[in-house]
Amino acid sequence: MRHLSLGGELITHLWALLYHLNIRSWKEMDEKHVVALTESDFFDLISTRRHVMVSFYHPSWGKSQELAPEYTAAAAYLAAQKADVVLGKVDTTNNPFLADRYHVKEFLTILFFVDGVPSPYTGANSKIDIVEFINEKLNPVVHDIDDVYDAKGVLNGINGDAVVAFLDYPLSPYSVELAAAARMEDGVTFYRTFRPEVAEVFHMGLKANRPSLVFMNKEMEKFTLYNGKFREYAIADFVSLNKLPLVTTLTRDNWDSIFLFAAGDESSKFLPIFKKIEKSFKENLSFVYVDRYNQDIIRAAKYFHIYGEQTMVLASTRYKGGEWTFYLQGEISEDTIKKFAQDFLEDNLYRTSPVPECNDGDVKLVVGENLKQIVLDESKDVLLEIYAPWSVDCQALKPTYNKLAKHLHGIESLIIAKMDGTTNEHQRAKVYICYVMCCSVLPVYRQLCLILVFFPLVLFLEQ
């Protein structure tokens, strides 16, 4: 480790001490009912046990520490009840492959696996909520509808999403498949019937074949007949695809969605394209449609600095310390929106000044286009200053920064660089505001890049 500030060694030891104190909450508890999983045994467990809950945690994160005793208590309770489930945990700091495989982006993510297929746990981090969630998964209820009177009562009383299956007899293999699908879907009520007159109430027709299945959402006046194979995973995929709208209409409650489409009066032209593209990114991105003639949410356009009636596409996300928004430039089409979304997922959106023809100075010049090449080089440690030319602090820092770069010029593995933040931006260079200092840490595998923004302060780097 190379320290570039006075007291760097003290800071390092303090962080190490805090880290080891934090992980004690996991280590000191009796966790005989929680299986510590690694990349070597994880897949064996989820392939041999039908029901597995896994906590992907970071030992030093507060939410992980809060979960630990509750998770352990839930595991002990379920073991005492002899429930057919295993609770495991994965330390993401030691198992980066598993974290990447299951798209673990937060410091605490809990997944529930059924026959190796994961679904997210979104309940509270308490013993009671975890136990209730697992019990519902292990004992799903598929309600029977016996006559037309009951069927009309169900139809009129639907609040949210529901599924009705028309089957041949109670103990048929199709009933088993339906129950298994119900285990995989949260927030959806499953029903079954064996009578054709009941099936007709749910738009399946008197002469419907068995098995038949329909997905319903009364509020949306939506009845979708399933025409695939009657297998649990296929049914679950069908329900998952239909239970949420493909494109969410912007409201006051979801202004912070990741991906925003502003169509205005050209909705009829672009909205079908938007819906089509969303299907390719359903597992990774939320797509939000803004009707700019809707006065109730007209402030959303101003929030994103959009004025007039021009159709626009933008990506927006929040992170610790701020938010980041990027606008699609040029033509709006299926191809450009798809590429824009893919670049967003790959952290590859940027705004750039021209790449400098000569870049041989002690301080390397970074722009949006060459940031990945220079700053994200895994073989280098990089100190990057993102500055504003008009900033007095940045002007005051300049001679010291240049002197530092000249002094360290002989270290091949170290790059000192700067980027004009008024004309360049990159998705991997988000600004984190931490007390009196503005800085951003880029997690690039084994590399740690420290970015200084508008503040004359130098800390340390490590590789």
User: Would you state the pLDDT for residue 207?
Assistant: 79
Cα pseudo-dihedral 151, 153, 154, 157, rounded to 10: 160
Within-domain flag for 2: no
User: Would you state the pLDDT for residue 294?
Assistant: 58
Indicate if 323 and 406 belong to the same structural domain: no
User: Would you state the pLDDT for residue 181?
Assistant: 87
Indicate if 103 and 156 belong to the same structural domain: no
Within-domain flag for 351: no
Indicate if 14 and 81 belong to the same structural domain: yes
Q: Which helix (H) or strand (E) holds 454?
A: none
- Sheet arrangement for strand 381-387: 363-365, 414-420, 381-387, 447-453, 437-444, 432-434
Of 138, 157, 187, the residue at which a domain comes to its end is: 138
Length of the chain: 463
Domain tally, the chain: 4
List, for residues 361-405, the tens digit of each pLDDT value: 999 999 989 998 898 888 888 888 888 888 888 888 899 999 999
Could you give the C-alpha distances from 197 to 142, 190, 207, 212, 232, in angstroms and in order?
A: 19, 18, 9, 13, 25
Ranges of the chain whose pLDDT falls below 50: 1-7, 10-11, 13-15, 17-29, 252-256, 258-261, 263, 432-463
Indicate if 64 and 19 belong to the same structural domain: yes
Of 243, 272, 291, the residue at which a domain comes to its end is: 243
Within-domain flag for 281: yes
User: Would you state the pLDDT for residue 304?
Assistant: 66
The backbone torsions φ and ψ at residue 299, rounded to the nearest 5 degrees and listed phi first, read -70, -15
Within-domain flag for 177: yes
User: Do 236 and 185 meet the contact criterion of CB atoms below 8 Å apart?
Assistant: yes
User: Would you state the pLDDT for residue 391?
Assistant: 82
Indicate if 378 and 445 belong to the same structural domain: yes
Indicate if 300 and 331 belong to the same structural domain: yes
Does residue 211 have a cis peptide bond before it, meaning omega lies within 30 degrees of 0? yes
**Residues 192, 120, 27: CA angle, nearest 5 degrees:** 135
Which two structure tokens, joined as six digits, stand for 371?
């940031």
Residue 232: which CATH number? 3.40.30.10
Of 226, 243, 260, the residue at which a domain comes to its end is: 243
Within-domain flag for 460: no
Could you give the C-alpha distances from 45 to 118, 173, 181, in angstroms and in order?
A: 13, 27, 21
User: Would you state the pLDDT for residue 244?
Assistant: 57
Indicate if 163 and 93 belong to the same structural domain: no
Pairing assessment for the beta strands 161-166 and 117-120 based on DSSP bridges: unpaired
The backbone torsions φ and ψ at residue 55, rounded to the nearest 5 degrees and listed phi first, read -100, 115
Within-domain flag for 357: no
**Which structural domain range is residue 370 located in?**
363-453
Indicate if 229 and 163 belong to the same structural domain: yes
Indicate if 125 and 147 belong to the same structural domain: no
Cα pseudo-dihedral 246, 106, 95, 129, rounded to 10: -90
Indicate if 156 and 239 belong to the same structural domain: yes
User: Would you state the pLDDT for residue 4?
Assistant: 43
Within-domain flag for 356: no
Indicate if 93 and 181 belong to the same structural domain: no
